[in-house]
Amino acid sequence: MLQVANLRENKANAIKGLLKRNIDNAETLIDEVIALDDKRKSIQQELDAVLAESNQISKSIGLLMKEGKKEEAEEVKAKTAELKQKSKSLQEDAQTVEQELTTKLYQLPNVPHPSVVKGKGEDDNEILLEHGEKPDLYAGKKPHWDLIKDYDIIDFDLGIKITGAGFPVYKGKGARMQRALLNFFLDEAEKQGFKEIQPPVVVNEASGIGTGQLPDKEGQMYHIEDTDLYLIPTAEVPVTNIFRDEIINEEDLPIKLTAYTPCFRKEAGSWGAHVRGLNRLHQFDKVEIVQVQHPDKSYQALEEMSEYIQSLLKKLELPYRVLRLCGGDLGFTSALTYDMEVWSAAQEKWLEVSSVSNFENYQSNRLKLRYKDADKKKHLLHTLNGSALAFPRILAAILENNQTEKGIKVPEVLQKYTGFEWID
């Protein structure tokens, strides 16, 4: 959530940034926020004055009674009752305006970093680098949705029988590959100083609001109505919410955590021929990395996280490219996001497998996540997260890029985890 003080002080920059997101009424929205904040302050000043007057009068009642001025004391009591009623009314007004202000702020996404370019969607994203050679496969190459049937390692029909579309069942070497990816990603994250945790995979509404999934993306989350809980779309939500309402000592920064979880997404309106097989699922596995960082060091941390995720793709021997998302494709809460895409040789297309983002203090403002500096002053922290990595499209690329007439060669780095070199 954006800070009103920053919108006041840096209004022109905020408008310029939000225009990159194609929010043409950015100035109007910001003016409405500032007007509501002015109204809130005005009501609070009046309320403070009424409470102060009521306090002062209450003290005088005792003195008047001691002096035997009962009649005057009764008049003062009547005045106190009026002030109490007025203060109650002002408190209700203040609460209403505060809620209106919060709702309006929830409608404003994060202001993009200056390096983010204006754009309408994914076609306007900037390609920053491309690494590795695209494999030249044999004439009989197949997309992964055919390969998984040939080798009986993933069953979509069985998933439909048990649950529905988008919930595959992994079998035999397919299940072993999932476990291998899980252990490989967690082991590598630990080497990079990320502490592993195992969070819940359901969260409450406050957690969804804290990281920005609610109320902005409510339609994409599975809601358990009788408990008012939500299935997580990513481990970012429970992991980052560990620090909701916390004050961190500056010397304890940075905080680096990693977690494996299943993830659940409705993916409403996103189905079609271009998302066959593992390309898009309702349930999938992912290892997430999260950082809580000092504001002065968050962009250095973002670059380091990007380089780390790229190192995983190199070890898996997957050709990849890195994109900087344009304003129109940037996530609601992000100030800057890099996407990592791997080349899927049989589909002959790039598949997004990771996003790494700096949210600056947007999430922290919602979470009330702060740190104390050496002078004991409190400041909002910066939060970052990245997929390191999401399993389905990584597995799809591994299957397609490593297929041969003999079978599918398992990347060398995974063989100690799988216990086999070939899927055949």
Would you state the structure tokens that stand for residue 128, as one six-digit string? 């920053």
Domains of the chain by residue range = 4-106, 122-423
Residue stretches of the annotated binding site for L-serine: 234, 265, 288, 385
* Sign of the CA dihedral with 300 first, then 365, 288, and 401 last: negative
Place of tokens 């597995």: 395
Question: What is the homologous superfamily of the domain 122-423 according to CATH?
Answer: Bira Bifunctional Protein; Domain 2 (3.30.930.10)
Q: Which amino acid is at 313?
A: L
Residue stretches of the annotated binding site: 234, 265-267, 288, 352-355, 385
What HEC string does the chain produce? Answer: CCCHHHHHHCHHHHHHHHHHCCCCCHHHHHHHHHHHHHHHHHHHHHHHHHHHHHHHHHHHHHHHHHCCCHHHHHHHHHHHHHHHHHHHHHHHHHHHHHHHHHHHHHCCCCCCCCCCCCCCCHHHCEEEEEECCCCCCCCCCCCHHHHHHHCCCEEHHHHHHHCCCCCCEECCHHHHHHHHHHHHHHHHHHHCCCEEECCCCEECHHHHHHHCCCCCCHHHCCEECCCCEEECCCCHHHHHHHHCCCEEEHHHCCEEEEEEEEEECCCCCCCCHHHCHHHCCCEEEEEEEEEEECHHHHHHHHHHHHHHHHHHHHHCCCCEEEEECCCCCCCCCCCEEEEEEEEECCCCEEEEEEEEEECCCHHHHHHCCEEECCCCCEEECEEEEEEEEEHHHHHHHHHHHCECCCCEECCHHHHHHHCCCEEC
Q: Please tell me the pTM assigned to this model.
A: 0.92
Give the pLDDT confidence score for residue 171 in this predicted structure. Answer: 98
Give the pLDDT confidence score for residue 53 in this predicted structure. Answer: 85
Q: Determine the length of the chain.
A: 424
How many Å apart are CA 306 and CA 313, to the nearest integer?
A: 11
Q: Quick one: fold of 4-106?
A: Helix Hairpins (1.10.287)
Give the pLDDT confidence score for residue 220 in this predicted structure. Answer: 87
Q: Which amino acid is at 73?
A: A
Other beta carbons within 10 angstroms of residue 338's beta carbon come to 23
pLDDT in single tens digits along all 424 residues of the chain: 999 999 999 999 999 999 999 999 999 999 999 999 999 999 999 999 998 888 777 767 656 565 665 666 566 667 778 888 899 999 999 999 999 999 999 999 999 999 999 999 999 999 999 999 999 999 999 999 999 999 999 999 999 999 999 999 999 999 999 999 999 999 999 999 999 999 999 999 999 999 999 986 667 899 999 999 999 999 999 999 999 999 999 999 999 999 999 999 998 555 555 678 999 999 999 999 999 999 999 999 999 999 999 999 999 999 999 999 999 999 999 999 999 999 999 999 999 999 999 999 999 999 999 999 888 999 999 999 999 999 999 999 999 999 999 999 999 999 999 999 999 9
Residue stretches of the annotated binding site for ATP: 265-267, 352-355
Residue burial 156-186, b: 16+ Cβ < 10 Å; e: rest: beebeeeeeebbbbbeebbebbbebbbbbbb
Please state, in angstroms and as integers, the Cα–Cα distance from residue 314 to each residue in 3, 51, 194, 321, 394, following that order: 40, 65, 20, 11, 12
Domains 4-106 and 122-423 share a fold: no
Give the pLDDT confidence score for residue 67 in this predicted structure. Answer: 61
Give the pLDDT confidence score for residue 63 in this predicted structure. Answer: 63
Q: Which amino acid is at 159?
A: G
